[in-house]
Amino acid sequence: MALDIICETSMGTTVDAQHNHDHTYVRSVTRLNEVVFAWQRMPWLKIKPIWYLTGYGGEYDHHLKVVTDFTKSVIREKWDEFQKFQVDQRETKDKRSMAFLDLLLELRQEGLLDEEDIREEVDTFMFEGHDTTSASMGWTLWSLAHYPEVQEKVIEEIDSIFQGSDRDCTNDDLKQMKYLEKCLKESLRLFPSVPFFARNVEKDTVINGDLFPKGVRIVVVPLILHRNPNWWENPNEFNPENFSEDKMGNRHAYADVPFSAGPRNCIGQKFAMMEEKTVISWFFRKYRLRSNIPFEANHAQPEIILKPSIGFPLIVEHRQPYA
């Protein structure tokens, strides 16, 4: 679902990943993530001959070509549509909804970007914008299934907003989902979609008496940072009230960094929260969740994305309609 959503919003197209798991783009994106993770955890693969002798290099090149060729074909198709629409719009004054790619094409028309610039931007959104969101929603649903009292509060909030309606979710609806937002943030605290990220040190820096010289790379591990008992009471418990205004005001701003922090933080974090609220609120309008497996039995496995050790085996039940 997340891949279909990011395809539609970033490129204005779809790969129908929910029904078409064998789409070449879907398979290549999945395999690229696996190959890149292997490169990260096996340092000898950074030696180019070994990279290719083990087969990883060839796989990487193949799947990268599939992904970039698909993106290029969409860009060219959309460029033709964009130019045609510009002519039609001048004649009819019609407006249309625009994907991220359409905005980039406007910059291309103004001579500010070329095709390769656009491809890199779109690929960044595609790669960073689907697995992370899928993982976040999965861990949130897993958590809510194991904390039924929290799940009921989410359902009550959703019912108060939609009152049994099947209408589409609006931006005003999303703003009212305060408790669901706390749940999403708490899930990202316990299970950050990106379990680690790195920063280069630009000048000699001393932290707590330790020198980090210019040029070294520091790896930040939110999976550990977010469970620091100095900042979090009962850090291994799922408690959405960790994100109440009073508790957030008494906590260091960088005690919680699921989207990184500073000038190079995640550009899509607001979009991700809107997407997750939309999908999860739609689900809980009709269903509730439970699980027969203990919460702690599902171990977080840090790869490029934080994966569950056993997937998300949940029991979905129809619930009584709002009355």
Binding site, annotated residues for heme: 266
In the annotated binding site, the residues are 266
SS3 state of residue 206? strand
Written as one string, the DSSP assignment of 281-296 is HHHHTTEEEE-SS-GG
Give alpha helix (H) positions in the chain: 2-11, 24-41, 48-53, 56-92, 100-109, 115-128, 131-146, 148-162, 171-176, 178-190, 222-225, 245-249, 269-284
| DSSP label of 94 | -
Residue 176: closest CA among 193, 162, 192, 190? 162
Residue 288: strand pairing partners: 317
Please name the residues in contact with 130: beta carbons below 8 A apart, sequence gap of 6 or more. Answer: 2, 3, 5, 6, 29
Helix axes 56-92, 100-109, angle to 10 degrees: 70
Helix axes 56-92, 2-11, angle to 10 degrees: 50
Residue 221: closest CA among 201, 192, 253, 182? 192
The answer to whether the CB of 236 falls within 8 A of the CB of 242 is no
